[in-house]
Amino acid sequence: MTSSKNTVDRYEKPHCNLVSARIAVVVFTVGVFLSAPPLRACEVAQIMFGKNILDIIPQQDYETALIRYGDFENSKLNFGAFRGEITVDRGGFSIRNNNQVVVGSISPDLRMEGLDDDCDKRQTIIIRKVQSGAYVIMNGNTPVGTIEGRFPKNSFGVR
């Protein structure tokens, strides 16, 4: 009889250790997940991809364009929500986020580039003019956004 009791104890202990090990692995994984830095995305893409409307804010000697969200279909963003700003910089435009931090640039030939490391540098992002006041943002051969409105006044001729 004692041998059967010892046999039962021998089998119960590994089972308990296995459960304890699984719990430890789950706790460790959750801890690593919660302590990891949040995943980032290319900030210029978050601002410029999608349907956008440019609202020009005139000043005495320059203009700036507010980037507003231009789609009614997205339940996460309100139509007209402020996304960022386009300002005239030396030889091109700067794309600024809501905190006025420059996150990207647009060259005079309308090539857009993100400044953070999370932006894909393999594809060229080009803004193509469709008609006066209407642009399509192309990531390679894929349309990723639209712009309604005009760019701020500048010395390099982009309107």
| Distance of alpha carbon 143 from alpha carbon 149, whole angstroms | 18
Q: Give the CA-trace dihedral at 131, 134, 138, 141, to 10 degrees.
A: -40
Q: What is the pLDDT of residue 42?
A: 87
DSSP percent split of the chain into helix, strand, coil, nearest 5: 25, 35, 40
What is the structure's pLDDT at 2? 54
Residue 90 pLDDT more than 60?
A: yes
pLDDT band at 75 (very low <50, low <70, confident <90, very high): confident
In degrees and rounded to multiples of 5, residue 83 shows phi and psi of: -110, -30
Does position 9 have pLDDT exceeding 60, yes or no? no
What pLDDT sits at residue 87? 96
The answer to whether residue 12 scores a pLDDT higher than 90 is no
Instruction: Determine which of 15-19, 87-91, 139-143 has the lowest per-residue pLDDT on average.
Output: 15-19
If one counts every other C-beta atom within 10 angstroms of the C-beta of residue 48, the result is 25
Residue 103 phi/psi, 5-degree rounding, is: -115, -10
Alpha carbon 88 to its chain centroid, in Å, reads 22
pLDDT in tens, 94-137: 999 999 999 999 999 999 999 888 787 777 899 999 999 999 99
**135 within 8 A of 124, measured Cβ to Cβ:** no
Question: Which of 124, 123, 131, 120 minimizes the C-alpha distance to 110?
Answer: 124
pLDDT category, 67, cuts 50, 70, 90? very high
Greater pLDDT, 45 or 76: 45
Q: What is the pLDDT of residue 99?
A: 94
Task: Give the model's pLDDT for residue 73.
Answer: 86
Region 34-50: mean pLDDT is 69
Q: What is the dihedral of CA 37, 112, 152, 86, to 10 degrees?
A: 0
> Could you tell me if 148 and 50 are in contact, meaning their C-beta atoms sit under 8 angstroms apart?
no
Cα dihedral value 80, 146, 90, 42, nearest 10: 80
Residue 159 in this model has a pLDDT that exceeds 90: no
